[in-house]
């Protein structure tokens, strides 16, 4: 049986293969940080561990609300890591009890279907939540 992290990594890779996102990453909330636990596509070192006061990942971590941006050039909170990115969606991952346990960050050269990413985040929730968070 694959571990939770192996399952998450497999789901992330499959989603990127279907949609050809430039980058998709899953972060687990650990104290005041969102720590990347799985990624597919491009990654950067500055985004391996993100403080909750930093950028869109931090904003979603603080508020628990999705961030959807169709044009990152007009988003002052967007932290650029890659050339050619046009859209970013950061989606909260919440346990069945409603506790924020992670975020999914997707960056693309084209449009991102926020409903698809929300569904993906919901599917990951049981894999990210610990027993006392469910």
Per-residue pLDDT tens digits for 16-40: 888 889 999 999 999 999 999 999 8
What are φ and ψ of residue 20, in 5° steps?
A: 55, 40
Neighbouring C-beta atoms of residue 6, cutoff 10 Å? 12
Neighbouring C-beta atoms of residue 83, cutoff 10 Å? 8
Rounded to whole angstroms, the Cα distance separating 17 from 52 reads 29
Buried b / exposed e over 65-76, threshold 16 CB at 10 Å, is ebbbbeebeebe
Tokens of 65: 């609300």
Q: Is 109 helix (H, G, I), strand (E, B) or coil?
A: coil
Tokens of 25: 């990453």
DSSP 116: H
- Domain residue ranges of the chain, discontinuous segments joined by +: 4-128
CATH architecture label of 4-128 = 2-Layer Sandwich (3.30)
Prediction pTM value: 0.90
Rounded to whole angstroms, the Cα distance separating 56 from 53 reads 9
Give the model confidence (pLDDT) of 45-98 as tens digits. 677 898 999 889 999 999 999 999 999 999 888 877 778 899 999 999 999 899
Look at residue 1 in the predicted model and tell me its pLDDT. Answer: 63
Rounded to whole angstroms, the Cα distance separating 92 from 101 reads 8
Band of pLDDT at residue 132, cut at 50, 70 and 90: very low
């Amino acid at each position: 049986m694959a571990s939770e992290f192996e399952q998450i990594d497999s789901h992330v890779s499959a989603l990127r293969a279907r949609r050809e996102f430039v980058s998709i990453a899953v972060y687990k909330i650990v104290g005041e940080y969102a720590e990347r636990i799985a990624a597919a596509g491009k990654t950067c070192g500055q985004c391996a561990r993100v403080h909750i006061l930093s950028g869109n990942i931090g904003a979603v971590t603080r508020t628990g609300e999705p961030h959807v941006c169709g044009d990152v050039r007009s988003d002052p909170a967007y932290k650029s890591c890659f050339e050619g990115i046009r859209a970013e969606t950061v989606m909260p991952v919440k346990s069945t009890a409603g506790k924020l346990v992670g975020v999914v960050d997707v960056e693309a050269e084209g449009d991102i279907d926020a409903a698809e990413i929300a569904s993906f985040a919901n599917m990951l929730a049981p894999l990210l939540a610990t027993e006392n968070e469910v």
